[in-house]
Structure 1
Amino acid sequence: MKTKTTFFKENAVFLAFLFFFCWIFLLKNQFGNSDSWKDFTFYPDAPFWYFFKAAFIFWWISFIKNRINKSSKKQTSISKRYVLFFGIGLLTYLIIGNSFGLIISLIFDTYSRNFGSLYHIVYVNINSVIDFIIFGGFSLAYLYYKENVEYQKQVAAYEISKAKNEITQLKNQLNPHFLFNNLNSLDQLIEEDSERASVFLNRFSELYRYSLHSADKELVLLEEELFFAEGYFKLMEEKYRGYYQLQIDEALYSKDILVPPFCLQVLIENAITHNKGTLDKPIKIVITEANGIKVINTKLLYASKRKGNGVALANLSKQFEILTGTACKIRETEEEFEVTLPFITTTKPTV
């Protein structure tokens, strides 16, 4: 009983369509058989009986489809499967209809009237075939639509799951990268200045606590990421005093925008790693908004190319490509290096 109730609830809209069609179909036939309003006679109960037949055809085809799909292990094309559903459905519908009619005729002693004439038998079965073609066709079209929608949902779910797995892998690469680079910086400071190393370690512990908090998040608020980026830059200032300058557009703090964790930190780190700032010519890093979140830094490259954040920057661009379908835009001139992060349309962070 529960299964039948669920079936009718799930397909209520389609059943309502069948009921409406039965009324229209019978009205059309009745008008066609009448020469004037005097000849026109419409029986209000007729569409209900016609609807019961249509609903049974729909249920019967659904039953056959589910049975064949469960029992068949062989993969066949959609068109072949639906032709099979229709063929078996039509054949069994005719058998059921004739068997039911025969039983009723024997019970009420009307066999000679219903089955005594070959013409009458052919006429009844042709009507049954036409009914099945009409309502069976509607039913198969609707079932195909439902199956296609379900398939699209599965594909979408698979793509989302795949994208999330890729993002997780990329984040897992960035987090150890952040830890490794800063432990190297701490090691250098310990040798140069133990007091500065202690301040560096305290700042680093606070930042790493944030990184652990954000590790399971796919997206964070831009405001949180800006505070983290500021904290990271202050950490770097303990090592490079006055060699680098950071300027953040204040309007960004009030923007309701989401970004992947560490995205701005990666770009700041990239600017520091690849450019040799000095007190006379500090490297200026600017974070602003212009068709996305734009991070620009002046250039003063080292004489020899340094190993650095190439992998981290590539991973970051891949994250945005997965999340938005658009990779980060990178522009480089003799004086500047610019990265624009595309906006993400999600309305709230994913925890």
Structure 2
Amino acid sequence: MRYIKADNDLWIRLGGISLLWLLDVYSYGLFARPLNFTTLKYSAEFLVLSTATWEVIRWILLWLRRRYPHLSQTRTRILISLPLCWLTSILIDWADMKVVNSTAYHVAYPIEAFINSIPNALLFSGLIIGIQEAVYYFNRLLKSEKEAEILKKENLQTQLDSLKQQVNPHFLFNSLNTLSYLIGDDTEKAEEFLDELCKVYRYLLRSNEHELTDLSTELQFIRSYFHLLKTRYGDNIQLNLAIEPPYETYLLPSLTLQLLIENAVKHNVIDKTQPLTINVMTQSEARLIVKNNLQKKPQQLPSTQIGLRNIATKFRLLNQGDILVDETPDEFVVTIPLIAAGNPLVHS
């Protein structure tokens, strides 16, 4: 559950408390009374009462926002907050009147005042909820629009990156070299390699059409992609898949696994004495782990981690939290959240 911080609403709080105070002052007709010690006492009481009511109800609303933070949950949040805040407002009013009556702060409140506070509490709590929720909805709407714009830019960048991969001369050169060698050495393997190469490029061309893909489809692509790597590196590279069937329908951004496997191949030594092993597995709570044994290439340029940053940004904008990257002397591990199909919170 994501924690939603309170907005910087100091001016709204001051304005709202002032409004409640003015309504109390008006309802007791203090404006029509002469300014004296008694009216000042009433005014001070109403200021404390208004502040307590606003702040307690505000705290309740913040608590509900932590449990129901998204715009799609606004109706649920209001339906829960209205009776809860109404009851809270009644209790605050009654506590105030009890204190006044027990301390003889001013003329005691009659029983009718306790009864009349029930509908008045509904009015005040509804007013506070309306103001607070309107401001919260407006701020969340602005934030959602900004995130949608950022996500749109990220999608464009991902498409550009994908296009670069599609026409990557180095990748294509290596693939064609391998194919050329196989044609002269093993025609059957050459046909198999060409078939997998076509699957890889077909998936790359279609990946721009969908922001998310299910894990099962991504794994089919990875098997074809890894076949190309396996043909090139032989037994010097291994891929182990341990995917629990229930998670195959879960979603993740297209090409996520390809980027992570490509990073492992790009930054590690791969030979007979130092084979590279890549493990892809699911974990409880819908987590996907991609890890490989770490054997960094000597004298390589520092990694820019652009691929990891792009993946992390996309998951964050999809309201799925952060990916976890853990590097030890022996392993490099990336943990990403899988997204349940039909998750209504992905675009909220």
Q: Is the 8 A contact 2:292 2:333 kept in 1?
A: yes
> TM-score, length-normalised on structure 2?
0.53
Amino acid across the alignment from 2:236: Y
Post-superposition offset of 1:172: 1.7
1:165 matched to 2:160: no
Decide whether aligned partners of structure 1 residues 221 and 143 sit closer, same or farther in structure 2, where only a CA change above 3 A counts: same
Q: Deviations over 1:157-212 (max 9, x none)?
A: 41342243133134224313432152142254367555577654432221121222
The correspondence for 2:314, drawn from 310, 314, 319, is: 319
Aligned partners of 1:158, 1:276: CA distance in 2, in Å? Answer: 44
Aligned ranges for residues 173-322 of structure 1 at < 5 Å?
A: 173-179=160-166, 180=168, 181-189=170-178, 194-195=183-184, 199-252=192-245, 254-290=247-283, 292-305=287-300, 310-322=305-317
Decide whether aligned partners of structure 1 residues 347 and 221 sit closer, same or farther in structure 2, where only a CA change above 3 A counts: same
Aligned ranges for residues 67-146 of structure 1 at < 5 Å?
A: none
CA RMSD of aligned residues (A): 3.7
Q: Deviations over 1:267-306 (max 9, x none)?
A: 1111111112223442111111235211110122222215
Decide whether aligned partners of structure 1 residues 309 and 269 sit closer, same or farther in structure 2, where only a CA change above 3 A counts: farther
Q: Is the 8 A contact 2:279 2:291 kept in 1?
A: yes
Aligned partners of 2:131, 2:208: CA distance in 1, in Å? Answer: 42
Other-structure match for 1:330: 325
Amino acid across the alignment from 1:315: N
Amino acid across the alignment from 1:334: P
Decide whether aligned partners of structure 1 residues 317 and 146 sit closer, same or farther in structure 2, where only a CA change above 3 A counts: closer
Q: Is the 8 A contact 2:151 2:314 kept in 1?
A: no
Q: Give SS of 2:249's match.
A: coil
Q: Is the 8 A contact 1:248 1:288 kept in 2?
A: yes
Q: Is the 8 A contact 2:241 2:279 kept in 1?
A: yes
Other-structure match for 2:119: none
Post-superposition offset of 1:221: 0.7
Aligned partners of 2:314, 2:295: CA distance in 1, in Å? Answer: 28
Aligned partners of 1:150, 1:273: CA distance in 2, in Å? Answer: 45
Q: Is the 8 A contact 1:274 1:306 kept in 2?
A: no
Q: Is the 8 A contact 1:258 1:347 kept in 2?
A: no
Q: Give SS of 1:271's match.
A: helix
Range moving further from structure 2, 181-190 or 312-321: 181-190
Amino acid across the alignment from 1:312: G
> TM-score, length-normalised on structure 1?
0.52
Larger Rg: 1
Q: Is the 8 A contact 2:315 2:323 kept in 1?
A: yes
Decide whether aligned partners of structure 1 residues 141 and 340 sit closer, same or farther in structure 2, where only a CA change above 3 A counts: closer
Decide whether aligned partners of structure 1 residues 147 and 337 sit closer, same or farther in structure 2, where only a CA change above 3 A counts: closer
Structure 2 portions without partners, runs of 5+: 1-122
Q: Is the 8 A contact 1:287 1:296 kept in 2?
A: yes
Aligned partners of 2:245, 2:275: CA distance in 1, in Å? Answer: 24
Aligned partners of 1:253, 1:345: CA distance in 2, in Å? Answer: 10
Q: Give SS of 2:334's match.
A: strand
Post-superposition offset of 1:243: 1.2
Aligned partners of 1:249, 1:154: CA distance in 2, in Å? Answer: 40
Q: Deviations over 1:299-349 (max 9, x none)?
A: 222222158783222212222222235332111111111111123356269
How many matched pairs? Answer: 219
Q: Give SS of 2:244's match.
A: helix
Aligned partners of 2:316, 2:179: CA distance in 1, in Å? Answer: 39
Aligned ranges for residues 50-69 of structure 1 at < 5 Å?
A: none
Structure 1 portions without partners, runs of 5+: 1-135
Q: Is the 8 A contact 1:243 1:282 kept in 2?
A: yes
